Amino acid sequence: MSRRSVKVKYDYIQKNCFAISLLITILAIIINISLKVPNPAVVCFVAIVLATFVGGFVCGSVSGFLTILYCGYFFSIRGNLMTYTQENLYKMVVICIATISMILLVGILKRQLKNRTEALEKANKQLTLFSALDWLTGIANRRSFDELLDKEWRHCLREQIAVSLVLIDVDFFKDYNDSYGHQAGDECLRHIAATIIGQLSSLGNFAARYGGEEFVVVMSNTSIDEAIKVGEDICNAVANLKIPSGKENSYPYVTISVGLNSMIPSADINAEELVKTADFALYQAKTSGRNKVKAYSKVANTR
């Protein structure tokens, strides 16, 4: 049984808990009458426990009230309703105390169980969220990227639309770490990650930390020209951060190199080919001077 179907049944029970509690209690009374149970409180106590567990204090109280009424009738002196012998009066007192105690006990246990279940669900959601995020930058991690790329690839294969992938590498990042230290390097990566996300927020695309100083962007239903525009926007936005590079070269500020490709998936290729070609384009960007955006070219790859 799926988790969704279980939740649907649970929600149905919660919405109709009052009616269900009444039915459970009436069924218990009918069983008592049919089987001529010597002490009807025993069967009715089961109904009280079930009603309280299903619907909480209110439904348990309704079931308890019906139980006390029926037991009051059952133990009455024949012909004198609600008049009892000394022994039966004692039984009624015990039944009333036991009924109230059971409602309180089961109700408290139900509430504690509900609180713990909610806390566990919240913890599971947080764990799932944390497992999908990169601890340093706060954006999606490599695991999330792998899952989403596979999902997007299959979606675009069905729809026969293009999927684009943009690989981003921070230029001379080792030199930056050597100049300013790893804490500054971490802060630099956080700024770049936020900048990438800022460029994609209006497009609804997906960005992740690919590993080390590399980031990746996945864009569904995006042409190569649109992907190039996104890559250029990210490249310019990072340069505009004006983070000192710490390296004596032609770029006084931290820059990035970008490689990308766009494909319409087919049955004879897989998503790894898209990553491979984007990675080659990134290699071209880095070997041709860095701080550049390069789209994959089959001609260049054959040289």
Q: Tell which residue, 164, 151, 177, 168, has the closest CA to residue 208.
A: 168
What is the per-residue pLDDT for 203? Answer: 57
* Average model confidence (pLDDT) across the chain: 86
Residue 87, classed as helix, strand or coil, is helix
Query: pTM of this prediction?
Result: 0.64
Q: What is the set of domains in the chain, with CATH numbers?
A: 3-130 (no CATH), 142-301 (3.30.70.270)
Q: Which two tokens mark 152? A: 């997007």
Question: At 210, is the secondary structure helix, strand, or coil?
Answer: strand
pLDDT tens for each residue of 21-44: 788 888 888 888 888 888 888 888
Which residue in 118, 187, 213, 214 is the catalytic one? 213
- Tell me which of 86-90, 94-98, 243-247 is least confident: 243-247
Q: Give 223-256 pLDDT, tens digit per residue.
A: 999 999 999 999 999 999 999 987 665 678 999 9
- Is residue 248 part of the annotated active site? The answer reads no
Helix pair angle (182-200, 224-239), 10° resolution:
140
The pLDDT value given to residue 234? 95
Residues in the chain: 303
Tokens read off for 10: 């649970």
Summarised one tens digit per residue, pLDDT across range 203-229 is: 558 899 999 999 999 998 889 999 999
- Measured between its terminal Cα atoms, the distance across the chain in Å is 56
Q: b vs e for 179-211, b when ≥16 Cβ sit within 10 Å of the residue's Cβ?
A: ebeeeebeebbeebbebbbebbeeeebbbbbbe
Read off the pLDDT of residues 125-142 as tens digits, 9 standing for 90 and up: 777 667 788 989 999 999
Question: SS3 of 78, please?
Answer: coil
* Residue 15: band (very low, low, confident or very high) from pLDDT cuts 50, 70, 90: low
Q: Where are the beta strands (DSSP E) in the chain?
A: 163-170, 206-211, 214-220, 256-263, 293-295
pLDDT at 238: 96
Backbone angles phi, psi at 299, to 5 degrees: -65, -45
Q: What's the average model confidence in pLDDT over 148-157? A: 92
CA–CA dist 45, 61 (Å, integer): 12
